[in-house]
Structure 1
Amino acid sequence: MRTTGKKSSNTLVRDLVNVGIFGALYLVLSGLGASIGFIPAFIVVSTCVVSLVTSVPLFLFFSKVERPLLCCVLLCTLFGVVMTISGHGISFGLLCVIYGVLAGLCLKLFHKNFVGCLLANVMISFVPSSMMIPLWSSTEEYLAYCSSICDKAYIAHLAELSSSYWPLIGLFGFGAAGAVVGGFIARRMMKKHFERIGLAK
C-alpha cells in the first residue's frame, strides 16, 4: 500500500510539474501566435496561428500526464487566471475551466489515443478564441478597454467586426481548424514518441 501511495504521489508531482512547464510554454507561444492579430486584417485568423504553434507542445503534454482531466483543467485554469489578472474578466476564466474539463474528458474517454488528443486540442483552441467574446457581448466596454492600448484605426476595425457575428464564428472556426491541422502535424513530427505510448500505429 505504501509503495502504491508513493508511486501515486510521485506521478502527481510529475503531473503538476508538467502543468507548470507546459502551461508557461502555452502562455508564451499563444502570445506569440496571437501577436499577428495586431494587424487588423489578420485578427480573425490569429486563432488559427495560435492553434498551429501550440499543437505540438500540447500533444506532448497530453502524452506525459497521468491525470488528463486534472492536468487539462489546471493548464487552462492557469491561462485563465493570468488573462483574468491582465483584464479579461472572471467570465473568461470560468470558460477556461470549462474548456479544460472538456479537453480532459476527451482524453479520458478516448484513452489518450490520437482522436482523443485531437479533440482535446480543439477544445483548448477555444480558450484563445474566447478572449474576444466581449467584443460582441460588451462592445462598448471592450472598445474602451482596447482604446487605451491600440490606435484609432485598429479600434475602428474592431467596431466594424462587432457589427456582425460572423467574425466571432470565424475566430472559433479558424482556431478549431488550426488545432486539427496542428494535431496531424504534431503526430507526424513526433511519430516515434506517439508509437511508444500508443498514439500512432
Structure 2
Amino acid sequence: MSNVRTTGKKSSNTLVRDLVNVGIFAALYIVLAFISSSIGYIPALIVFSTGSIGLVTSIPLFLFFSKVERSILCCLIFCGFFGTAMFVMGQGILMLTISLLVGLLAGVALKVLGKGFAGLFSANIVLSLMSSSMMLPLWTSTEEYLEYTRTMCDAGYVAKLAELAQSPWPLVAIYSFGILGAFVGGFIARRVMKKHFERIGLAK
C-alpha cells in the first residue's frame, strides 16, 4: 500500500515539474520567437524570418524536450500556449488548431524516438512548422490578414505582403526556411547541450 502512495506522489511531483517547465519554456519560446521574427518587418527579409526563429529557439527547445517526462501532454500544452497567444493577437482559430496539431506530432516524435538526438531533432523540426504558420493566413484569408496588418504597419509593408500573397512560392519559402533554421539550430543545440548543459546537470 505504501508503494502505491509513493508511486502516486512521485507521479504527482513529476507532473507538477513538467507543468512548471512547460510554463517557463513556453513563455521563453514566445519571447524569442517574436524577437527573432522581427527581421520580417524588413520587407526584403520577410521569407527569412521563420529561419531566424528556428535557429534562435532550437537550444531552449532541446533543453525543454530533454527535461519533460510526459512528452505528448507537455508538447500539446506548450504549443497550445503559443496558439492561444496568436489567437488573442488576432490570428484566428486556424493558428490555434495548427499549433495543437504540431504539438501532438512533436510529442509523438519524442515518445517514439526517445530523448536521444534523433527524438529531440525530429521534434524540433516538427515544431518549426508552428512558427512558420504565423503568416499562413496571408494566403488563406488574404484580405482579413492585410486589414489586420494595416493596424500595425505602414502602407509600404502592407503592399509588399499583398504582392507576396499573389503567389504560393513565398509561402513555400517561408516553411522551407523555417525547417532549415530548425535543422541548423538542431546541430548547434546538440553541441551546446553536450558541452555545457549536460556538464552542469541541466539536461540528461
> Normalized against structure 2, the TM-score is what?
0.94
- The structure-2 alpha-carbon separation of the partners of 1:96 and 1:158, relative to structure 1 and needing over 3 Å to count, comes to same
Kept in 2: contact 1:63–1:197 (CA 8 A): no
Residue of structure 2 equivalent to 1:56? 59
Matched with 1:111 is 114
Equivalent AA in structure 1 for residue 126 of structure 2: M
The structure 1 residue matched to 2:24, chosen from 15, 21, 25, is 21
Per-residue CA deviations over 1:66-97 (Å, capped at 9, x if unaligned) read 01111111100001111101100011101100
Root-mean-square deviation (CA), in Å? 1.6
Q: Offset at 1:183?
A: 0.6
Q: CA deviation at 1:103?
A: 0.3
The corresponding residue for 1:141 is 144
- Contact 1:92/1:131 (8 A) holds in 2: yes
Partner of 1:87: helix, strand, or coil? coil
Matches of 2:115 and 2:76 in 1, distance apart? 15
Assess if the C-alpha contact under 8 Å between 2:21 and 2:64 holds in 1.
Answer: yes
Give the total of aligned pairs: 199
Alignment of 1:1-201 (within 5 A): 1-192=4-195, 193=197
Distance 2:141 2:203 in 1: 45
Q: What amino acid sits opposite 2:75 in the alignment?
A: C
Residues 187 and 194 of structure 1 are in contact (CA less than 8 Å); yes or no, is this contact kept in structure 2? Answer: no
Sequence identity percentage: 57
- The Cα shift of 1:113 comes to 1.3
Distance 1:173 1:182 in 2: 14
In the aligned structure 1, how far is the partner of 2:59 from the partner of 2:104? Answer: 20
Q: Shift of residue 198 of structure 1?
A: 9.4
> Which string of whole-angstrom CA distances, capped at 9 and with x for unpartnered residues, describes residues 40-86 of structure 1?
01110000001111000000001100011111111000011111011
Structure 1 7/174 Cα, relative in aligned 2: closer, same or farther at 3 Å?
same
The alpha carbon displacement at 1:140 in A equals: 1.1
Gaps of 5+ in 1: none
Give the whole-Å Cα distance in 2 for the aligned partners of 1:148 and 1:61: 35
Task: Compute the displacement of 1:20 (Å).
Answer: 0.3
- Which residue type is aligned with residue 146 of structure 1? T
Distance (whole Å) between structure 1 residues aligned to residue 56 and residue 172 of structure 2: 21
CA displacement at 1:116 relative to structure 2:
1.1
Contact between 1:129 and 1:172, CA under 8 Å: does it hold in 2?
Answer: yes
C-alpha separation in 2, matches of 1:13 and 1:101: 20
TM-score using structure 1 length: 0.95
Q: CA deviation at 1:130?
A: 0.6
Deviation at 1:197, TM superposition (A): 9.7
Residue identity in the other structure for 2:184? V
- Kept in 2: contact 1:113–1:198 (CA 8 A): no
